[in-house]
Amino acid sequence: AQRVTQPEKLLSVFKGAPVELKCNYSYSGSPELFWYVQYSRQRLQLLLRHISRESIKGFTADLNKGETSFHLKKPFAQEEDSAMYYCAGGTSYGKLTFGQGTILTVHP
Protein backbone atom coordinates (compact mmCIF):
# COMPACT_ATOMS: atom_id res chain seq x y z
CA ALA A 1 0.00 0.00 0.00
CA GLN A 2 1.10 3.54 -0.68
CA ARG A 3 2.08 5.36 2.45
CA VAL A 4 3.60 8.72 3.35
CA THR A 5 4.72 9.32 6.90
CA GLN A 6 5.61 12.55 8.64
CA PRO A 7 6.82 11.54 12.09
CA GLU A 8 6.57 15.00 13.68
CA LYS A 9 3.17 16.60 14.27
CA LEU A 10 4.78 19.71 15.74
CA LEU A 11 8.16 21.30 15.16
CA SER A 12 9.41 24.47 16.83
CA VAL A 13 12.59 26.37 16.01
CA PHE A 14 13.92 29.85 16.57
CA LYS A 15 14.37 32.38 13.80
CA GLY A 16 17.66 31.87 12.01
CA ALA A 17 18.01 28.24 13.05
CA PRO A 18 18.09 25.41 10.50
CA VAL A 19 14.92 23.43 10.07
CA GLU A 20 14.25 19.96 8.70
CA LEU A 21 10.80 18.47 8.23
CA LYS A 22 10.94 14.73 7.82
CA CYS A 23 9.05 12.67 5.30
CA ASN A 24 9.32 8.96 4.55
CA TYR A 25 7.42 7.10 1.89
CA SER A 26 6.53 3.55 0.99
CA TYR A 27 5.53 3.04 -2.61
CA SER A 28 5.62 0.45 -5.28
CA GLY A 29 7.23 1.83 -8.39
CA SER A 30 8.64 5.33 -8.64
CA PRO A 31 6.33 7.94 -7.13
CA GLU A 32 6.37 11.66 -7.69
CA LEU A 33 6.94 13.44 -4.39
CA PHE A 34 5.80 16.88 -3.31
CA TRP A 35 5.76 19.27 -0.41
CA TYR A 36 2.63 21.37 0.09
CA VAL A 37 2.27 24.25 2.53
CA GLN A 38 -0.79 25.79 4.15
CA TYR A 39 -0.27 29.20 5.76
CA SER A 40 -2.82 30.51 8.24
CA ARG A 41 -6.09 31.45 6.51
CA GLN A 42 -4.72 30.52 3.08
CA ARG A 43 -5.35 27.60 0.79
CA LEU A 44 -3.05 24.65 0.37
CA GLN A 45 -0.34 25.40 -2.17
CA LEU A 46 2.47 23.51 -3.80
CA LEU A 47 5.90 24.31 -2.39
CA LEU A 48 8.26 21.83 -4.05
CA ARG A 49 8.26 18.78 -6.29
CA HIS A 50 11.19 16.43 -6.44
CA ILE A 51 11.54 16.34 -10.20
CA SER A 52 12.21 20.07 -10.43
CA ARG A 53 15.08 20.03 -7.90
CA GLU A 54 14.55 23.73 -7.24
CA SER A 55 14.68 25.93 -4.16
CA ILE A 56 11.52 27.78 -3.22
CA LYS A 57 11.52 30.37 -0.41
CA GLY A 58 14.89 28.95 0.65
CA PHE A 59 13.52 25.42 1.04
CA THR A 60 15.02 22.39 -0.66
CA ALA A 61 14.11 18.72 -0.61
CA ASP A 62 16.21 15.85 -1.81
CA LEU A 63 14.83 12.48 -2.72
CA ASN A 64 16.80 9.67 -1.09
CA LYS A 65 15.66 6.45 -2.70
CA GLY A 66 17.85 4.33 -0.46
CA GLU A 67 16.26 5.68 2.69
CA THR A 68 12.91 6.31 0.97
CA SER A 69 12.91 9.82 2.36
CA PHE A 70 12.09 13.27 1.05
CA HIS A 71 12.97 15.62 3.87
CA LEU A 72 12.35 19.37 3.56
CA LYS A 73 15.18 21.63 4.68
CA LYS A 74 15.93 25.29 5.14
CA PRO A 75 19.21 26.57 6.54
CA PHE A 76 17.82 29.70 8.23
CA ALA A 77 14.17 29.65 9.29
CA GLN A 78 12.06 32.82 9.17
CA GLU A 79 8.94 33.66 11.17
CA GLU A 80 6.88 33.72 7.97
CA ASP A 81 7.73 30.04 7.45
CA SER A 82 5.34 29.14 10.25
CA ALA A 83 2.66 26.98 8.65
CA MET A 84 1.35 23.45 8.19
CA TYR A 85 3.51 21.39 5.85
CA TYR A 86 2.35 18.26 4.06
CA CYS A 87 4.47 15.74 2.24
CA ALA A 88 2.62 13.92 -0.54
CA GLY A 89 3.35 11.29 -3.12
CA GLY A 90 1.64 9.75 -6.08
CA THR A 91 1.87 8.39 -9.55
CA SER A 92 -0.03 11.34 -10.98
CA TYR A 93 0.00 14.88 -9.84
CA GLY A 94 -3.42 15.14 -8.30
CA LYS A 95 -4.07 11.59 -7.13
CA LEU A 96 -1.89 11.93 -4.08
CA THR A 97 -1.31 10.24 -0.77
CA PHE A 98 -0.64 12.79 1.94
CA GLY A 99 1.26 12.51 5.18
CA GLN A 100 -0.34 13.60 8.42
CA GLY A 101 1.24 17.03 8.28
CA THR A 102 3.75 18.91 10.43
CA ILE A 103 2.96 22.23 12.06
CA LEU A 104 6.11 24.36 11.96
CA THR A 105 6.39 27.26 14.38
CA VAL A 106 9.29 29.67 14.04
CA HIS A 107 9.78 31.75 17.17
CA PRO A 108 11.30 35.27 17.04
Partner 1 sequence: DGGITQSPKYLFRKEGQNVTLSCEQNLNHDAMYWYRQDPGQGLRLIYYSQIVNDFQKGDIAEGYSVSREKKESFPLTVTSAQKNPTAFYLCASSMVQGPAFFGPGTRLTVL
Could you list the residues that contact partner 1 (CB under 8 A)? 4, 6, 9, 34, 36, 43-46, 49, 86, 88, 92-101
Q: How far is the CB of 26 from partner 1 (least distance, A)?
A: 15
Q: Name all contacts of 4-8 with Cβ < 8 Å and 24+ positions apart.
A: 4/87, 4/88, 4/89, 4/97, 4/98, 4/99, 5/99, 5/100, 6/85, 6/86, 6/87, 6/99, 6/100, 6/101, 6/102, 8/102
Q: How far is the CB of 30 from partner 1 (least distance, A)?
A: 15
Q: Decide whether 17 or 51 has the Cβ nearer to partner 1.
A: 51
